[in-house]
Chain A
Amino acid sequence: MSLSRIALWGFCGLLLVFLIAPILVVIVTSFDASPYMAFPPTRLSLRWYANFFSSAHWIEPALLSLRVGLATMASATVLGTLAAIGIARGRFPGRQALELFLISPMVVPIVVMALGFYFLFTGYHLIGTTPAIWLGHVVIATPIVVVLVRAGLRSVDPTFDLAARSLGANYWRTLWHVTLPSIRPAILSAAAFAFLISFDEVVIATFLGGPDATTLPKRMWETIRFEIDPTLTAISALLTVAATVVLVTIEISRGPAAPGRE
């Protein structure tokens, strides 16, 4: 290995430490018994985990986030998958512009989206309700579904659809028996990401939640801003482990292909 190569590995090693270490430090800290969030922990304990699971202050927001996340996942996956198929297989002018429009919420700052939702839902008296947060989350989760399913469709030969149609299957039969099964991995990973986006989302949940609908990230956010509660380290550890498990599962289920392959 050449000297420049060793230097490159060294530099990138440090960079990866910078990327990963903060998360690891929080996970280790979560086992500290003291309320001072010490690293390394002086005495090990699971008290912050116990605190999370035993207090309604934390568990109820977590359950709400779970419900909103699942509802968002279902809606965004259906909307986004159908839209992606429409773009990939349709033959109409302006498809490119339409695709751009469908993924454009990804670049709109979340705080701007939250502001728009706030104005919209104030008019319908939906501030402080779960449906408001759910609808907002579907808007920001659908683009990622469109992108991922669209990428999945690129790797599938569209002539399979044509073959099914020419053998007498109608549009919906073809969709259900040919197109959708062929992009199953893409749809599954899109669904997982849609869930994660909703489950982690703070800004929309904070703007729209009001005093009554508090998701887990909203509760964490309020806690961080006004006091520091070490229970946050336990929750952070749980969230990170959950996200990592989802991600690694997706990565493994994609098979031995290079990551991010089309």
Chain B
Amino acid sequence: MLPALVFYLAFYVVPLAQIFDWSLFAPHLTGKFYVQLFDDLAYVKALRNTIDISLLTTIIALLLGYPLAYLMVSSSARASRILMLLVLIPFWTSILVRSFAWIVILGNNGVVNRVLMASGLVGRPVALLFNMTGVQIGMVHVLLPFMVLPLYSAMRGIDRNVLQVARSLGASPVRAFAGVFLPLSLPGVGAGCVLVFLLSVGFYITPAMLGGPGQITLATMIDLMVNTLLNWGFAATLGVVLLLTVGIIFALFSTLMGTSRMMRPGGA
């Protein structure tokens, strides 16, 4: 216990504290970087992009992930286990590899565009990369498992007999699902949405790789500030914004839902 705490203090708490430090001192106490947040157009654009991408990713992942999680809990143990493995393989495949895969597939010469052209649906390649479409596809692909796992975990806790009871009391299948199963699965929906949103907000690799200059986000802007523009103070301030956003959502949610419900991988 103690070694972990000492390690966390030195290499987790101290680095985060240094971000606050850099955002406030240059070298004397200053609020100039925080003032810059309000009149920097690039920042406003990055903020809007970040919110748009995160919300849309969360909604799409929920709409796609819910049926999949439902299928997993309502199938035989064997089928369910295979489905789980198919979700976990991309989950543990390098994000770099998965984002790169989309470059190969969605490019002008990629398989999607060649199929579209061969079918005569389009006359020339559709721009699917280095724009919002590319970012959105890549983000949903990377984050979908993070939605499915908490949903699956919550749904597995639902006693499936309640559905039978509802049916035997005369409810239609749709009504039994909407009136009984859906409300019981809401904690999982909450956990999945919060987790996907949290991860989207800070996501760096996919927007940087599949987006264009117009898809700058808070995370890619931090990289730009540190590694290209060498504006460490403003980079630190963006880091504080990101950290507080994530911290507040996480704290609110964990008090509402209990500590570690959303943090158990594999639904364990």
Contacts and interface: CB of A to CB of B under 8 A. Distances in A.
Bound pair (A, B): yes
Given A78-B3, A261-B268, 18 more contacts: A82-B4, A86-B1, A86-B4, A100-B259, A101-B8, A107-B246, A109-B204, A109-B219, A111-B222, A135-B11, A202-B96, A203-B204, A236-B100, A239-B94, A247-B85, A260-B264, A260-B265, A260-B267
B259 A99 contact: yes
A11 B72 CA distance: 13
A142 to B, nearest CB: 7
A85 B104 CA distance: 45
B246 A151 contact: no
A222 B146 CA distance: 27
A240 B94 contact: yes
Interface in B217-268: 219, 222-223, 226-227, 232, 235-236, 239, 242-243, 246, 250, 254, 259-260, 263-268
13 contacts: A4-B173, A15-B68, A20-B90, A79-B3, A82-B3, A82-B4, A111-B202, A142-B8, A202-B95, A220-B96, A243-B89, A243-B93, A259-B88
Contact residue range for chain A? 35 or more
A19 B84 CA distance: 12
Contacts of B3: 78-79, 82
B77 A258 contact: yes
Interface in A67-117: 78-80, 82-83, 85-87, 90, 96, 99-113, 115-117
Interface string B1-29: 10111011001101110110110000000
A250 to B, nearest CB: 9
A37 interface: yes
Chain B at the A interface: mostly helix, strand, loop or mixed?
Answer: helix
3 closest A-B pairs by beta carbon, nearest first, are: A109-B202, A116-B15, A86-B1
Contacts of B208: 225
Chain A at the B interface: mostly helix, strand, loop or mixed?
Answer: helix
Interface of B: 1, 3-5, 7-8, 11-12, 14-16, 18-19, 21-22, 64, 67-68, 70-71, 77, 80-81, 83-90, 92-98, 100-105, 109-111, 141, 144-145, 149, 152-153, 173, 198-199, 201-205, 208-209, 219, 222-223, 226-227, 232, 235-236, 239, 242-243, 246, 250, 254, 259-260, 263-268
A147 B104 contact: no
A115 B235 contact: yes
A110 B159 CA distance: 38
Contacts of B103: 224, 228
A18 B19 contact: no
A144 interface: yes
Nearest to B15: A116
A19 to B, nearest CB: 5
Given A99-B260, A116-B18, A202 B205 contact: yes
A106 B262 CA distance: 11
A200 interface: yes
A167 interface: no
Contacts of A23: 89-90, 93, 97-98, 101
A115 B90 contact: no
B37 to A, nearest CB: 16
A52 interface: no
A80 B3 CA distance: 9
Contacts of B64: 15
Nearest to A24: B101
Contact of A82 (B1, B100, B263): B1
A108 B15 CA distance: 12
A119 B85 contact: no
Nearest to B85: A251
B160 to A, nearest CB: 14
A244 B19 contact: no
A138 B7 contact: yes
B75 to A, nearest CB: 9
B148 to A, nearest CB: 9
Given A108-B246, A115-B19, A220 B100 contact: yes
Interface string A146-161: 1110010000000000
Contacts of B260: 99-100, 103, 147
A248 B81 CA distance: 11
Nearest to A146: B4
